[in-house]
Structure 1
Amino acid sequence: MNRAAAAIFLALICSGCPKRIDFGPTGPITQAEELFRLTSASQDRVATLQGDGKLRLQSPQGSGTVSAYLAASRPGLLRVEMFDFFNRPIAVLVTDGQRFGLFQAQENKYYQGPATPRNLSRFLPIALPSEELVSVMLGKVPFIPAERMTLALDNEQGLYVLTLHRGSVAQVLHIHPKYLQVVRSEVRGAPAYGLEYDGFKEQGGVLFPHEVRLVASTADTSLGLRYTDITLNESPDLTLFDLSAPEDVPVVEVDEGGEALPPVSLPPASPGS
């Protein structure tokens, strides 16, 4: 943005706002690249999360809300336990970013294999790589690799609108002007999901969204996550990410596409053994 454009931008900020916008200690930002840099830094302040929440699914196949215990640590460590209304376990997903384990209580089976988006979608209705899913849960919006950026101001909502452009694809980011946190992300020109963050609260010196909504409009599906009692940036308990199958539960090994592999046949015992 050149000086003339910046002057126009500032003039619009000062004269065209229906309500006063609090830009925080940085003041109004007029350069798209600077806003992107500061927003990226604000997203990197949370590395681990652990605690309780509620998961809500809306899809053509049905809708519902369940209680959940969640533990996540960048880049790809994740554990999600689901419980029914009576606090009985429904399912447990664990991944270290490379492999996954999934216990399905109703089937009494433990699925394990590569942590591909297809395999993780056995547990969650939206197929994402584990590292991307962890980022979303930790309040970090994945950005497209931009070739250029443009910046505007939504006077009505009081938000920056930062658009990342790559060819015919654009990612539109609505950013809080004071806290420099993304509150909404939408990708246009390519199949992708949208993100919404809300319920920002200061916790441990970090402003963190306690409500996350992931929307896959092409599949008419959304996944909502509301944190109720969590801790941030504590040293992770690595035993939570143990991929060992529960005792006395049949194990089903699956391939990258989620197809069950044939059981491994043990060689016959040699005579006299």
Structure 2
Amino acid sequence: MKPAPFVLFALLACGCPGKGGFTRTGTAPTVQDIVAKLAAKRAALSSFTGASVMDYWIGKDRAKGDVFVMGKPGAKVRFAALSPAGGSTLVEMACNGTTYAYIDAQNNCQLTGPCNRMSIAQFLRVELEPQDFVALALGNPPVLEGAAGTVTWDSTKGHEVVELTSPAGKQTIRIDSRDGHFDLVESRLMGADGKLLWSVANTDFAEVKDVKGVTFRVPMKSQLQSPQEKADLLVEWKEREYNKELPDAKFDITVPPGLPECGTKAAPTTGATSAPAGGTTATPATP
């Protein structure tokens, strides 16, 4: 018996898998179409604050626990990792767009310097420009500038696969377009030498509203990997607020006087105080 016409129409409209896999619905997008849509999403989602559970690194130690995060345009990012034992701030890092401060209460040390990809690596073990981290946290990874490429359809998964190439390297982006969505589920960035710099995989997409009530669809879980650094980061978001006004002062933290630089031994001092191990005097980056 032949299926009724309306059943065939429903299958095509939803992009449901048939014997040959998922069917692309609508007109095939161009590279420019997808890059423009990603840029529009980045422009619509600017700042965020969030509470997450992260599986990350503190020095040479692997840690898992609650981490407050906030970020906004201008290379402004702040992290505060809480101690599983009692909620005190275990590690905190803030980039104010120019410089950064990093306080490791577990090892009783600090670092300061220019705000760049190396400062982000102090916390994440992955070299990412601060603004690129903000884009990743918003579920919309950065795209190679001035790149050309192709778009193909992966019928086995219902994904648009974008391959970009520029003098800076190559990037692969996968967009899950099933059910009319535009979910960026994977992005892989290769350097000019052909080596993988980082990759991100996003899952568990959900609809959330910003402070003005505008609805966005974002991933609730992300895995970031950097093979060259032999590092990875797992993030499960518990809550996030988008497009919230964040004063610049929130991206500055004060290093306690007398706290030694991480990786060096403290010089003998008199009268100087430092943060006790297990907690810092800095204010956690709560939303």
Q: Please give the TM-score of this superposition, normalised by the length of structure 1.
A: 0.76
Of 230, 235, 245, the residue aligned with 2:255 is: 245
Q: 1:163 to 1:222 in 2, by over 3 A?
A: same
SS of structure 2 residue aligned to 1:121? helix
SS of 2:44's equivalent in the other structure is coil
Partner of 1:4: none
1:191-246 per-position Cα deviation (integer Å, ceiling 9, x unaligned)? 41011112211111111122221111233321111110221111114432123334
RMSD between aligned residues:
3.2
Say whether the 8 Å CA contact 1:164–1:171 is kept in structure 2.
yes
Corresponding position of 1:5:
none
1:80 paired residue number: 79
Unmatched tracts of structure 1, length 5 or more? 1-12, 263-273
Deviations 1:230-272 (A, max 9, x none): 21111114432123334xx425579xxx999x9xxxxxxxxxx
1:181 match: 183
Inter-partner Cα distance in structure 2 for 1:222 and 1:94: 20
CA separation of 1:44 and 1:122: change in aligned 2, threshold 3 A: same
What is the total number of aligned residue pairs between the two structures? Answer: 241
- Specify which of 208, 214, 217 is matched with residue 207 of structure 1: 217
Identity %: 17
* 8 Å CA contact 1:195, 1:212 repeated in 2: yes
The 1-side partners of 2:17 and 2:81 are apart by 50
The aligned counterpart of 2:90 is 90
Stretch of structure 1 that moved more, 207-216 or 217-226: 217-226
Deviations along 1:142-169, one digit per CA (max 9) or x if unpaired, are 1123442111001111110011122594
Tell me if 1:226 matches 2:236: yes
Give the whole-Å Cα distance in 2 for the aligned partners of 1:62 and 1:253. 18
**Alignment check: 8 A CA contact 1:16 1:155 kept:** no
Give the equivalent residue in structure 2 for 1:158.
Answer: 158
Q: What CA distance in whole angstroms lies between the structure 2 residues aligned with 1:250 and 1:96? A: 22
C-alpha spacing 1:148/1:123, structure 2 compared with 1 (3 Å)? closer
Secondary structure class of the residue paired with 1:222: strand
* TM-score computed with the length of structure 2 as normaliser: 0.73
Aligned position for 1:148 = 148
Alpha carbons 1:33, 1:149 under 8 Å: kept: no
Query: What's the CA shift for 1:105?
Result: 0.9
Q: Taking structure 1 as reference, are residues 175 and 159 closer, same or farther at Cα in structure 2, changes over 3 Å only?
A: same
